[in-house]
Amino acid sequence: MVRDGRIRDGAGAACAVRVQRGRPELALTELSRRAGLPLTTTHRIVGELAGWGALERADDGRYRVGLRLWEVGALAPRGLGLRESAMPFLEDLYAVTKQNVQLAVLDGTEVVYLERLSGRGAVNVITRVGGRLPLHATGVGLVLLAHAGPDLQERVLAGPLRRYTPKTLCAPDELRRTLAEVRRTGVAVSDGQIELIALSVAAPVRGARGEVVAALSVVVPAETSDARAYVPVVRAAARGISRVLGAPDSR
Amino acid sequence: MVRDGRIRDGAGAACAVRVQRGRPELALTELSRRAGLPLTTTHRIVGELAGWGALERADDGRYRVGLRLWEVGALAPRGLGLRESAMPFLEDLYAVTKQNVQLAVLDGTEVVYLERLSGRGAVNVITRVGGRLPLHATGVGLVLLAHAGPDLQERVLAGPLRRYTPKTLCAPDELRRTLAEVRRTGVAVSDGQIELIALSVAAPVRGARGEVVAALSVVVPAETSDARAYVPVVRAAARGISRVLGAPDSR
DNA sequence: CCCCGGGTTTCCGCCCACCGGAAGCCGCGT
DNA sequence: ACGCGGCTTCCGGTGGGCGGAAACCCGGGG
């Protein structure tokens, strides 16, 4: 895959091309530069990928991620599969609260957001479907970490813990106490730990064998005084999804 | 890619492995068989893909589509990008109708479903996020076909037109008239053409330069007597999305 | 206990498909 | 006309992927 420190093939190149914010189309030269591959090589690889549909050409000749790739991604059980089961409950939760409703799973040492329903009036937060954030600073992250294996917990607590706001919990012992609290109460409250304007209430979603497979949260404005009032509805929605996942769904 | 009729590489193998209905995890041997590749080769390729996160191993050692792949797919502008812009309008439409709400785009000679909000009470139809259906039999398909280039229209009308139900329109001239009607009225109504129990009302979503980039539909039970009543709301939602896409969204 | 069989993993030498330099093409601005 | 930056085509040398062989792992049955 990687040889003498240089990236040599398609998969590696894909790795190297980091997420594009803003205009999501890239020219060939740009791709070549970012991937660190010769222009000719990039041209060939990109051509093959486009032939298969993994990339598409925009009207101006630039390349963008293709619909085929989206389609294949849609087959991921932990992606759209989970989302599919959870959706009715997310809709209900959104209908009741009219706030941001988020569904996320654990991957490596981060959370990946699977879904986000955000009403017009809700707080505008940085999370994005398909986006990643660290475990220690988000409501869903704390829930997932609290129920993860001790090895992962230690790895996260040992690693560098980025401080997003003055309220971000970064001290390992403080985090340990919080995690114990999350396990005890079954919910996590992250108040301004990622963005000062937002507060999230999160609860675990469990799979068929009772293991935590995802986390659900509602994000409300930080100044909400009765944030605890959201705990029952979030918990109920999470339970609802867990029940659906538990039933092996005859189809 | 393909040499002397045999599939030789990862991309080709991925092509060959068709969508799994039911259990979405496959054993190594199964993959090898489906891809038509030697066991050893499959083992190596799958190992690399898993190392990168494109595949994941389930608890029992089987392989499934990984979260990384889902994540990359989420970057497709015509996938989640479009969906992101459309979501608030889909939610509104769902809130008003409490029926299935669908968003789809054109790819090749088929429609690909990007999103589907389905309430508990709504008709249970076969469409699935990430799924494909032919153009001639669905409401969204008729809308997309009606506004596509004449070359594509001819190709579709010439090709075999599968009959899903007795009501499916398969005669080319009849379809041509329908398409003209869709262009004139700006909406398509597909009554029991894909499943007898369902009727859908669809409208076009336009991009920044007025070109049709997607289609939106509401699916109601076939026995609904006042199906035409849904036309204004669907049209309004489609217009709303078009307006958002037209504004180049300063961010 | 040992053996058997199906699935999985490791090892390694041969060969061909991928790499990437060179050259040609296209379209724009001067 | 000419230069230039970006894209595409061509093709020969070679190193990385291919896949046969063999080892490994594990549950079941004699």
Q: How far apart are CA A205 and CA A29, in angstroms?
A: 44
Separation in Å, CA of B203 to nearest CA in chain A:
21
Interface test with A, best of B70, B92, B211 (most A CBs within 10 A): B70
SS3 B154: helix
Higher pLDDT, B11 or B78: B78
| A57 phi/psi in degrees, rounded to 5 | -100, 130
Q: How far apart are CA B49 and CA B69, in angstroms?
A: 10
Q: What is the pLDDT along chain A (251 residues), one digit of tens a residue?
A: 332 323 334 444 454 555 444 568 899 999 998 888 899 999 999 999 998 899 999 888 899 999 999 999 999 999 988 998 999 899 899 989 989 999 999 999 999 999 999 877 788 888 999 999 999 999 999 999 999 999 999 999 998 999 999 999 999 999 999 999 999 999 999 999 999 999 999 999 999 889 999 999 999 999 888 889 999 999 999 999 999 998 765 44
Q: Please, what is the angle between helix A139-146 and helix A172-185, to 10°?
A: 80
Minimum-distance nucleotide, CA of B39 to C1': D19
Q: How far apart are CA B195 and CA A142, in angstroms?
A: 45
Q: How far apart are CA A58 and CA B115, in angstroms?
A: 22
Q: Of B84, B120, B63, which is closest to residue A113 (Cα–Cα)?
A: B84
Show residues of chain B in contact with A129, CB under 8 Å.
74, 80, 84
Residue A77 to residue B65, Cβ atoms within 8 A: yes
Residue B64 to residue A70, Cβ atoms within 8 A: no
Show residues of chain A in contact with B24, CB under 8 Å.
75, 77, 81
Choosing among 1.10.540.10, 1.10.10.10, 1.20.1250.20, 3.40.50.150, the CATH entry for B2-71 is 1.10.10.10
Separation in Å, CA of A174 to nearest CA in chain B:
31
- The residue ranges of every structural domain in chain A are 2-72, 77-246
Q: How far apart are CA A121 and CA A94, in angstroms?
A: 12
Cβ(A218)–Cβ(A93) under 8 Å?
A: yes
- ipTM for the predicted complex comes to 0.85
Q: Of B233, B244, B5, B223, which is closest to residue B101 (Cα–Cα)?
A: B233
Cα of first residue to Cα of last residue in chain B, in angstroms, is 40
Residue A67 to residue B105, Cβ atoms within 8 A: yes
Separation in Å, CA of B177 to nearest CA in chain A:
30
Residue A105 to residue B65, Cβ atoms within 8 A: no
pLDDT in tens, B25-82: 899 999 998 888 889 999 999 999 998 899 999 888 899 999 999 999 999 999 988 9
CA B130, B63, B114 angle in degrees (round to 5)?
10
Structure tokens, B103 = 């968003």
What ranges make up the beta strands (E) of B97-235? 100-107, 110-117, 132-134, 188-191, 198-206, 212-221
Residue B84 to residue A15, Cβ atoms within 8 A: no
Higher pLDDT, B135 or A7: B135
Show residues of chain B in contact with A24, CB under 8 Å.
75, 77, 81
- The superfamily in CATH containing domain B77-246 is GAF domain (3.30.450.40)
pLDDT in tens, A193-222: 999 999 999 999 999 889 999 999 999 999
Show residues of chain B in contact with A68, CB under 8 Å.
107
Task: Kindly determine whether the C-beta of residue B181 is less than 7 Å away from any atom of nucleic acid strand C.
Answer: no
Q: How far apart are CA A83 and CA A114, in angstroms?
A: 7
Cβ(B164)–Cβ(B193) under 8 Å?
A: yes
Residue B172 CA, nucleotide D29 C1', distance (Å):
64
- pLDDT value, residue B224: 87
Q: How far apart are CA A180 and CA A218, in angstroms?
A: 21
CB atoms inside a 10 Å sphere around CB B171: 11
Cβ(B104)–Cβ(B114) under 8 Å?
A: yes
Q: How far apart are CA A185 and CA A179, in angstroms?
A: 10
Name, in order, each residue with C-beta under 8 angstroms of B33's C-beta and a sequence gap of 6 or more: none
- Whether B4 has a pLDDT exceeding 50, the answer reads no
Q: Which nucleotides of D are covered by protein (CB under 7 A)?
A: 5-10, 16-22
Residue A55 CA, nucleotide D1 C1', distance (Å):
39
Tell me which architecture the domain covering A2-72 has in CATH.
Orthogonal Bundle (1.10)
3-state secondary structure chain A: CEECCEECCHHHHHHHCCCCCCCCCECHHHHHHHHCCCHHHHHHHHHHHHHHCCEEECCCCCEEECHHHHHHHCCCHHHHHHHHHHHHHHHHHHHHHCCEEEEEEEECCEEEEEEEECCCCCCCCCCCCCCEEECCCCHHHHHHHHCCCHHHHHHHHHCCCCCCCCCCCCCHHHHHHHHHHHHHHCCEEEECCCCCCEEEEEEEEECCCCCEEEEEEEEEECCCCCHHHHHHHHHHHHHHHHHHHHCCCCC
- How many Cβ pairs closer than 8 A exist between chain A and B? 134
Task: Kindly determine whether the C-beta of residue A49 is less than 7 Å away from any atom of nucleic acid strand C.
Answer: no
Cβ(B189)–Cβ(B201) under 8 Å?
A: yes
Q: How far apart are CA A102 and CA A82, in angstroms?
A: 13
Show residues of chain A in contact with B11, CB under 8 Å.
48-49, 52, 54
- pLDDT value, residue B22: 53
